[in-house]
Amino acid sequence: MAKRIDPTTATLRAAKGFTRRILLSRSAALGAAGAVGPFIVKDAFSSSGTLNILNWDDELPDPVIPEFEKKTGIKVNTTPFSQNEEQINKLQATAGEGFDVCQPTHDRAPQFKDLEVLAPWDVNKLKLDNVLASMVATSTKLWTWDGKLYHVPHCWGSEAISWRTDLTTLDYKTLSFGTLWDEKYKGKVQGRPHSLLLSIGLWWDATGKLPSNRMLDAYKDEASMKKIYDQILPFAIAHKSWIKQFWDSGDNTKSGLLENGVVIGQTWDGPAISLKKAGKPVSYMAPQEGAITWLDGWAITKAAKNTAQAYEWINYLHSAEASAKVAEGSGYNPVAKGADALLSPVAKKNFAEAYPGDALERIWPRPAEPSWFAELRTQYAEKFKAV
C-alpha cells in the first residue's frame, strides 16, 4: 500500500521511531538520561495555586495528576470529556472562560482556529526539546498561525480493530476494516458512526471499489466529499443491523466488549489495550488498510487565569517519567524522549502485537479537518445513526 504524504506524516515517522526504540532497544541512552533524578520545580509560583483543565477522560490515569500536585502544590481541577465535539461545545459556550488549558486533537486545528478562544504558547517557557521531534513537528505544522504555536503534544494513539479473543480469531495478514461487515459478526459490532464511514471508504479504496486516494479526496472540498460519502452511506445504512452499539467514550467501548455482547469493533487503542493489560480476553490490531492515527495535545485559552501553573503542567507532562505514566495507565503512546524505555514489558509487548509486521508503514494519520468537513461529516453520521 502506498505511503501517504501529507501535513501529518510526522506522526508516521514518530510511530516508526517509537517501535524501533521499543522492539530494538535503541533508546537505552535516552531512557537513562530521562530517568535520572526527580522532577525539578524551580519557580516559587509552582508551589501553590490551581489549574483548571478541560481534558480527555482517559488520558490522565493515576498517578499522573496526584504526582504533579504532590511535587508542585498546584491543585488540578478537571473537566473530562469523551469526544472533540463535546470539548468544542464547552469552549464555545464559555468562550474558554473557566479553563486554563484544553486538549485538542491535532486534526482539529482549523476548527479551533475558527473558535478564536486560544492563546499562543510562549515556547521559551516550554521544554519542547524533551519531546520527540516528529511529535513537535505534527503540532507545529498544523497549529502555527500568525507565526505562533497553539498546540503541544500529549500522547498519540490510533483507531483500528478490537475484538474478544475468546469469541473469534483474527490474523493480521487478512484483517481488514471490511472484516467488521462479515456475516458472522452481524449484530455484534461496535464503532463510532463517522469513524465507520471513514473506514468503509478506506476499505473500498484498498479494494478498488471506490478509489479516493485513501479517502484524502474527501477533504478537498464539499462536492468531493459528498460524491464519496453519498456512496458509502447507503452501504452503512443497509448494514445497520450489524451494529450492536455505537460507542461514544472509552468506558462505553469497554462495557461493549465486556458486558454488551460486542465481539468486534472499530475502537481507540487505549481502552482495548487497557483491558488486555488487565488480563481480559480482548486484543487490538491494525488492519491492512492502516490504523487511523491521531495526536492529542494541549492548548492554552485566552481566558486562562493560571498561566504560570499551565506551563508547569506542560513541562511536567513532557518529562520522560510522566509521559511514560500517561502511556502505561491509558494504553496510548508517549511523546517524550526516553519514555518508551520506562514502559513495562507488558506495555511494550502489547504495542508490538497491535502493530505487527508492516503495520506502522501503513498507518493513516488523520488530516486537518476544515470546519465545513466536520459539519458535513456530522450530517452523514447522524443519518447513519437515525435510520
Write the CATH number for 256: 3.40.190.10
Whether the bond into 63 is cis, omega within 30 of 0:
yes
Residues 196 and 251 in one domain: yes
Domain that holds residue 148: 24-156+294-344
Residues 321 and 288 in one domain: no
335-380 per-position pLDDT tens digit: 999 999 999 999 999 999 999 999 999 999 999 999 999 999 999 9
Q: Into how many domains does the chain fold? A: 2
* 353 within a domain of the structure (yes/no): no
241-287 per-position pLDDT tens digit: 999 999 999 999 999 999 999 999 999 999 999 999 999 999 999 99
Confidence of residue 387 (pLDDT cuts 50, 70, 90): confident
Residues 112 and 127 in one domain: yes
Nearest 10 degrees: Cα torsion 355, 165, 235, 248: -80
Return the exposure string of 111-132: e unless at least 16 CB atoms fall within 10 Å of the residue's CB, then b: bbbebebbbbbeeeebebebbb
Q: Is the pLDDT of residue 31 over 90?
A: no
Predicted structure pTM score: 0.87
CA-closest candidate to residue 189, choices 275, 257, 270, 288: 257
Determine which of 9-18, 163-172, 255-264 has the lowest per-residue pLDDT on average. 9-18
Stretch 167-191: mean pLDDT, rounded?
98
Taking the C-alpha atoms of residue 299 and residue 310, their distance in angstroms, rounded to an integer, is: 10
C-alpha cell at 18: 517509537
Q: Is the pLDDT of residue 95 over 80?
A: yes
CA-closest candidate to residue 323, choices 349, 304, 297: 297
Residues 263 and 203 in one domain: yes
* 16 within a domain of the structure (yes/no): no
Q: Is the pLDDT of residue 7 over 80?
A: no
